[in-house]
């Protein structure tokens, strides 16, 4: 190598030596700056993490202090918080593992069965918490849980609602769970008791509703009974027709206060005590006085009975009656436009021992129509707007010459229409025509 080339290479190496340290120094500075910036970001991030943990701990403390079982879910359906009351309740019902795995964690486990208040299966997407994660507020949702593992059955009431941030976004859901197992069991027991009582009451009612009534020589009659809107409650209205002598027939229309089994018992009692007294001595005044004292002795203070009892004499063609505080019987004379109201002759039965009753008698000519009824007809309607006797008399005047089945149907139909289609109270009706 020549002296010139050696000198040139030496100068090049010295130039590289000068450039190298400057480039290396620039890279170290950037790294130091990056580390400083990272440290600046890390401090608030760590602080925020600590604050979040502190907030979470505070929230958990608040949730734990709440006596109501609470479950908190995130937007993804994952369980984020719960208190020990909720965990105990869910563990007893067999729901704990499923709820802890997330409200949207697929189908309900095969080990449990979920049913709603109507005993229908509840699919996962209809579970209250899942519905709230979709934005729905669920109140008083009843969930019956049957654990196939333990065999236990429990009933829960779940109230759930979505958690919504200031921008209107759903960030999760909260659910409060209440154990109503004892309440549901008690309610079921009440319903079973009611069904038993109702079955007995229906049998009693069948015994005192008019059926297989005897024909009356020289007269025809038509009767009807319509239960109230709540047909499950047996009422105390009844009518009765029975023979007391060769030419005399007892006619009864009555209303026993109350509903249900007790009313049915007192109704049957009234019917058959009256029959017994009437077959001994049929005079209406005597029969009602004796019946009143018997009912005072056999019924509680809140029970009373309104009743019309009369004797239809087919030979004399007369109707002799006593009225114990009942609705006025109505008499339509043949070929007359006016309707006559027969008087009340004494107070309702079972109110006071020693009550006395007077009697009244009317003659019945060919074509005359006598109508007896309970207040289920005249009280049809609501508030101050009642069907009343005036409307009833107009219906009788309009249809009095029609067949009795048509007259009775017209009365019931008009009363129902006035009441909006359904009678609010029981109604019994009996129409008698002299032939």
In 3D space, the residue among 407, 387, 406 whose CA is nearest the CA of residue 397 turns out to be 407
Q: Is residue 12 part of a domain?
A: no
Residues 214 and 350 in one domain: yes
- Phi/psi for 19 (5° steps) reads -75, -45
- Reduced to 3 states (helix: H, G, I; strand: E, B; else coil), residue 68 is coil
Q: Which domain range does residue 337 map to?
A: 210-434
Enter the pTM of the model.
0.61
Report pLDDT digits (tens) over 215-242: 999 999 999 888 766 555 667 888 999 9
DSSP state of 137: -
What CATH number does residue 323 fall under? 3.60.40.10
* Region of poorest pLDDT, from 48-62, 121-135, 223-237, 414-428: 48-62
What sign does the dihedral 98-99-101-104 (CA atoms) show?
positive
- What is the pLDDT at residue 314? 96
- Distance (Å, whole) CA 181 – CA 358: 59
Q: How many CB atoms lie within 10 A of CB 249?
A: 24
Q: How confident is the model at residue 427 (pLDDT cuts 50, 70, 90)?
A: confident
Q: In what order do the strands lie in the sheet with 330-332?
A: 219-226, 427-434, 369-373, 330-332, 339-341
User: And the tokens for 130?
Assistant: 């899942």
Residues 170 and 232 in one domain: no
Domain end point (choices 133, 160, 179): 179
Domain end point (choices 135, 163, 179): 179
Report pLDDT digits (tens) over 261-304: 777 788 888 999 999 999 999 999 999 999 999 999 999 888 99
* Residue keyed to tokens 């979505």: 162
Domain count, the chain: 2
pLDDT of 45 higher than 70: no
What sign does the dihedral 300-302-303-306 (CA atoms) show?
positive
In 3D space, the residue among 367, 375, 94, 83 whose CA is nearest the CA of residue 236 turns out to be 375
C-alpha triplet 401, 408, 333: angle, nearest 5°: 35
What CATH number does residue 126 fall under? 3.30.450.20
Helix (H) or strand (E) holding 29: helix 3-65
Are the CB atoms for 81 and 99 separated by under 8 Å? Answer: no
In 3D space, the residue among 227, 247, 248 whose CA is nearest the CA of residue 237 turns out to be 227
- Distance (Å, whole) CA 28 – CA 378: 105
Residues 395 and 259 in one domain: yes
Q: How confident is the model at residue 40 (pLDDT cuts 50, 70, 90)?
A: low
End-to-end CA distance of the chain, in Å?
159
- What is the pLDDT at residue 435? 95
DSSP string, 294-333: HHHHHS-TT--EEEEEEEEETTTTEEEEEEESPPPPEEE-
Contacts 24+ apart (CB under 8 A), 342-347: 345/321, 346/288, 346/322
- How high is the mean pLDDT of the chain? 83
Residues 120 and 231 in one domain: no
HEC profile of 96-135: HHHHHCCCCCCCCCCCEEEECCCCCECCHHHCHHHHHHCC
């Amino acid at each position: 190598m020549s002296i010139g080339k050696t000198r040139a290479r030496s100068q090049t190496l010295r130039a590289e030596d000068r450039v190298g340290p400057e480039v290396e120094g620039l890279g170290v500075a950037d790294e130091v700056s990056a580390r400083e910036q990272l440290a600046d970001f890390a401090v608030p991030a760590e602080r925020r993490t600590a604050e979040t943990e502190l907030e979470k701990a505070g929230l958990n403390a608040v949730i734990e202090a709440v006596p109501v079982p609470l479950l908190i879910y995130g937007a993804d359906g994952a369980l984020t918080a719960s208190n020990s009351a909720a965990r105990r309740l869910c563990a007893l019902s067999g729901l704990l593992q499923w709820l802890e795995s997330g409200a949207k964690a697929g189908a309900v486990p095969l080990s449990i069965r979920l049913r709603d208040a109507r005993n229908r299966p509840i699919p996962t997407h209809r579970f209250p918490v899942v519905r709230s994660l979709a934005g729905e507020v669920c109140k008083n949702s009843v969930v019956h849980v049957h654990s196939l593992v333990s065999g236990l059955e429990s009933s829960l009431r779940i109230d759930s609602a979505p958690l919504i941030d200031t921008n209107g976004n759903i960030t999760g859901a909260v659910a409060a769970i209440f154990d109503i197992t004892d309440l549901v069991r008690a309610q079921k027991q009440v319903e079973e008791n009611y069904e038993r009582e109702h079955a007995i009451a229906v049998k009693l009612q069948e015994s005192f509703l008019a059926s297989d009534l005897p024909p009356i020589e020289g007269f025809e009659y038509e009767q009807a009974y319509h239960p109230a809107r709540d047909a499950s409650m047996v009422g105390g209205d009844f009518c009765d027709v029975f023979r007391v002598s060769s030419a005399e027939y007892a006619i009864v229309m009555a209303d026993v206060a109350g509903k249900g089994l007790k009313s049915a018992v007192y109704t049957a009692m009234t019917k058959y005590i009256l029959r017994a007294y009437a077959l001994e001595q049929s005079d209406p005044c005597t029969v009602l006085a004796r019946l009143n004292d018997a009912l005072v002795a056999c019924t509680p203070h809140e029970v009373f009975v309104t009743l019309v009892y009369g004797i239809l004499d087919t030979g004399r063609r007369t109707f002799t009656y006593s009225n114990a505080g009942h609705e006025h019987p109505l008499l339509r004379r043949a070929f007359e436009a006016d309707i006559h109201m027969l008087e009340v002759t004494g107070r309702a039965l079972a109110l006071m021992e020693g009550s006395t009753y007077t009697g009244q008698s009317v003659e019945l000519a060919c074509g005359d129509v006598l109508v007896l009824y309970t207040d289920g007809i005249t009280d049809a309607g609501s508030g101050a707007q009642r069907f009343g006797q005036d409307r009833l008399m107009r219906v009788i005047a309009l249809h009095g010459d029609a067949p009795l089945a048509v007259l009775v149907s017209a009365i019931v139909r008009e009363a129902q229409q006035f009441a909006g289609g359904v009678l609010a109270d029981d109604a019994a009706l009996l129409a008698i025509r002299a032939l």
